[in-house]
Amino acid sequence: MPELQIRRRVVLGGLLAAAIGGRAAMAAGGAVVGKAQKIRGNVRRRQGEADERLAAGGAVLDRDYVTTSTNSFADLALSETRILLGPQTELLIDSFIAGEGGTLELGLGRMVFDRPEGLPKVDVAVRTAFGMIGVRGTKFFCGPSRAAAFAVFVEHGAVSVEGAGVARTLTAGEGVDFDRPGAAPGEVTRWGQARIREAYASVGLR
């Protein structure tokens, strides 16, 4: 057999083994907690050293680090909870148990957390560079908004927002702004429809 053909088989075999090993490492890294409902553009998921592109229908695991590129959006279903990510967003699913809740960490970008009304409430904490968001079965937006470096808006339900030792409670139609990481959340305000539409459009939600 020609030496070139042997080398080609060795290389292809190595690439295949690496791909299989990467998928096995991801599968072993955490339990499946959901799946990607819709994907637009380049969205990736990382589990340990394994990294792959996330496609619609693909599994989402506990401890997954999900990132979106420019002009990219992700719509993830974690059991009955829907997570929408806008462009250039980084989300770590730190721990999540269907029907109970868990912890999410938003590194950069913006997201919408949507759990339909009428379902049993779950306890979810969202960590950000600006503070902690405590959730109990609701729909809210968080991320940059207009002049605010970071903002939180609640459509239904209620969330608690804590930063710099200051806590605010938001209910339907209310939001708060942060000027910078480490600052306290501003006063609670009512958001107008135009700002709400802008916030939702930034995560691909119309």
- CA–CA distances in Å: residue 8 to residues 19, 20, 21, 78: 17, 18, 20, 42
Domain of 10, in residue numbers: 1-30
Please give the share of the chain, as a percent, with pLDDT higher than 70: 86
Q: Are residues 108 and 8 in the same domain?
A: no
Q: Are residues 140 and 43 in the same domain?
A: yes
| Beta-sheet strand order (sheet of 50-53) | 50-53, 43-47, 65-68, 90-97, 101-108, 123-127, 132-136, 158-163, 166-171
Which segment of 82-91, 96-105, 125-134, 153-162 scores lowest on mean pLDDT? 96-105
Which pLDDT score is estimated for 9?
A: 45
Residue 51 lies in a domain: yes
User: What is the reported pTM?
Assistant: 0.85
- Residue type, position 28, single letter: A
- Name the band, by pLDDT with cuts 50, 70 and 90, for residue 136: confident
Q: Could you tell me which residues come within 8 angstroms of residue 84 by beta carbon, excluding any fewer than 6 positions away?
A: 73, 74, 75, 76, 111, 112, 114, 203, 204, 205
Q: Are residues 17 and 87 in the same domain?
A: no
End-to-end, the C-alpha distance of the chain in Å comes to 60
Inform me whether the pLDDT recorded for 25 exceeds 50: no
- Name the band, by pLDDT with cuts 50, 70 and 90, for residue 180: very high
Which pLDDT score is estimated for 29?
A: 55
Dump pLDDT digits (tens) for 42-61: 999 999 899 999 999 999 99
- CATH number, domain of 79, equals 2.60.120.1440
**Tokens at 87, concatenated:** 């462009």
Residue 85: alpha-carbon gap to chain centroid? 6
Nearest 10 degrees: CA dihedral of 161, 167, 173, 179?
Answer: -70
Q: Could you tell me which residues come within 8 angstroms of residue 138 by beta carbon, excluding any fewer than 6 positions away?
A: 113, 115, 154, 155, 156, 157, 158, 159
Residue 153's closest CA among 123, 186, 184, 122?
186
Q: Are residues 83 and 134 in the same domain?
A: yes
Residue 114 lies in a domain: yes
- Residue type, position 31, single letter: A
Please give the share of the chain, as a percent, with pLDDT higher than 90: 77
